[in-house]
Structure 1
Amino acid sequence: MYVAFGNQIVDSKDIKEIIETNSEFKVVKDMSKGSKREDILAFNLSVDVNTLKSIMEEEYNETELTEDDLFEEYLTLAEDAATDIEEYIPSGAILDIRAYKWDQSDNDIKLVIAIAHEDVGEAKLRDIMRRLITQVE
């Protein structure tokens, strides 16, 4: 899907490839159309829990954490790691990232990332994220 991004047009397929090539994330679904806007890129992403475990080993002993603490730590790490995507997307972009699920059957964390040009504004992007999160839950 083509998206108006500031004064240029961006193909969501190109951004999908950039995300998958330059990060540990896999694009589960292009949600750009689901944003119901022509100026928002949105993706449902997943990251393998083992990738997060390797990051976590540097800071925590996993066996000392309860299941709830582990869940919270995985979600936080996934969101933090997703912020690195910002360096690969077009300049002038703002991001909103929400991890929402630990899918134990696939052993990964699911996230939604919404990307907009800074002209859209943080408040509007948060509103759009709320709509996107309800689509995946």
Structure 2
Amino acid sequence: MYIIFDEQIIDSEEIKDLIEAKSNFKVEKDMCKATKREDVLAYLLTLDVDLIKKEIEEEYDLNGMEMDDLFEEYMQIAEEKAMELEDLMPMYSIMEARSYKWDMSENKIKTVMAVAHTDLGTLRLSDVVKRLLSETD
């Protein structure tokens, strides 16, 4: 899908390929149409829990950690890693990412990410992400 980004047109497929090539995330779904906007890129990303686990093991003893605390830590780290993708996004972009699910059957953390030009504003982008989260599994 093509997105209007300030005065240029961006192919969401190119950004998807860039995310998968330059990070550990896998783009599970292009959600640009679901935003119901012509100026927002959006994706459903997954990140392997084993990659996050290695990072957490350096700081914590996972055996003594409660499942709720572990879940929160996984969500937080996945969101932080998703926000690091902002460096790959077009110039003058704003981004928001929210992790929402630990899919234990696939052992992956699911995250919704949206990107827009700074003119859109963080409040509107936040509303878009909330709407996308309500449409996910």
Question: Quick check: 1:18–1:89 contact (8 Å CA) kept in 2?
Answer: no
Can you list the C-alpha shifts for 1:90-114, whole angstroms capped at 9, x where unaligned?
1111111000000000000000000
Q: Which residue of the partner structure matches residue 26 of structure 2?
A: 26
Q: Which runs of 5+ in 2 are unaligned?
A: none
RMSD: 0.7
Question: Quick check: 1:24–1:47 contact (8 Å CA) kept in 2?
Answer: yes
1:43 aligned onto 2:46? no
CA distance in 1, matches of 2:92, 2:55: 29
Letter in 1 for 2:33: K
Q: Which runs of 5+ in 1 are unaligned?
A: none
Question: Quick check: 1:47–1:108 contact (8 Å CA) kept in 2?
Answer: yes
Q: Which residue of the partner structure matches residue 77 of structure 2?
A: 77
2:120 partner SS? coil
Can you list the C-alpha shifts for 1:78-127, whole angstroms capped at 9, x where unaligned?
00111110111111111110000000000000000000010100000011
Question: Quick check: 1:30–1:42 contact (8 Å CA) kept in 2?
Answer: yes
1:116 aligned onto 2:116? yes
Letter in 2 for 1:117: H
What TM-score do you get using the length of structure 1 for normalisation? 0.98
Letter in 2 for 1:133: L
CA distance in 1, matches of 2:64, 2:39: 44
Mapping 1:54-133, distance limit 5 Å: 54-133=54-133
Letter in 2 for 1:35: T
How much has 1:58 moved relative to structure 2?
1.9
How much has 1:61 moved relative to structure 2?
1.4
Q: Which residue of the partner structure matches residue 6 of structure 1?
A: 6
How much has 1:34 moved relative to structure 2?
0.3
Q: Percent identity?
A: 47
Alignment length (residue pairs): 137
